[in-house]
Amino acid sequence: MRCPFCGNDDSQVKDSRPTEDASAIRRRRQCPACGGRFTTFERIQLRELTIVKKSGKREVFDRDKLARSIEIACRKRPIAPERIERMVNGVVRRLESTGDGEIEVGKVGEMVMEGLQALDPVAYIRFASVYRDFREARDFETFVGGLSDQVAATRMATDD
């Protein structure tokens, strides 16, 4: 593993342990050249995933890009980072288990929307505003109005 401080090609593992949800291995490393310490995470990748954009362009799935977009939607919300990480892991597992090597970007967006809807309503609306490309305030009103209708229908169904 290359040292992020000095660029040395070698580093020594000082400590390894699974993450809290056991989805990755956390390794503490030290560079023998500069003495710098850093952490790496090792995750299982079941298959190489390719995302098919709306334009038809294909790019390799980037887990970190997915995590960043979810973290942006959740910014300044009372959501523990572990819950966000669990959600990211869940979306990645679902994508890998589809059996397809190529996945439409819309499918990823819908999975994220489902996860955020269960996680936090404000983060859900934030993500939806970018994902669904809201152009004006009326778009928000329509979306939130639909959300209110869903909540009311759910409450009526559980009250019966």
Please, what's the largest Cα pairwise distance for the chain? 68
Please report, in tens digits, the pLDDT of each residue of the chain (160 residues total): 899 999 999 999 999 999 877 778 999 999 999 999 999 988 777 678 999 999 999 999 999 999 999 999 999 999 999 899 999 999 998 998 887 889 999 999 999 999 999 999 999 989 988 888 888 888 878 888 877 666 555 566 666 5
Token pair, residue 20, equals 């809290």
pLDDT at 160: 58
pLDDT at 108: 95
Query: How far out from the chain centre does Cα 64 lie?
Result: 7
Burial 114-142 (b: 16+ CB within 10 A, else e): ebbbebbeebbbbbbeebeebeeeeeeee
DSSP characters over 57-69: -EEE--HHHHHHH
Read off the pTM.
0.67
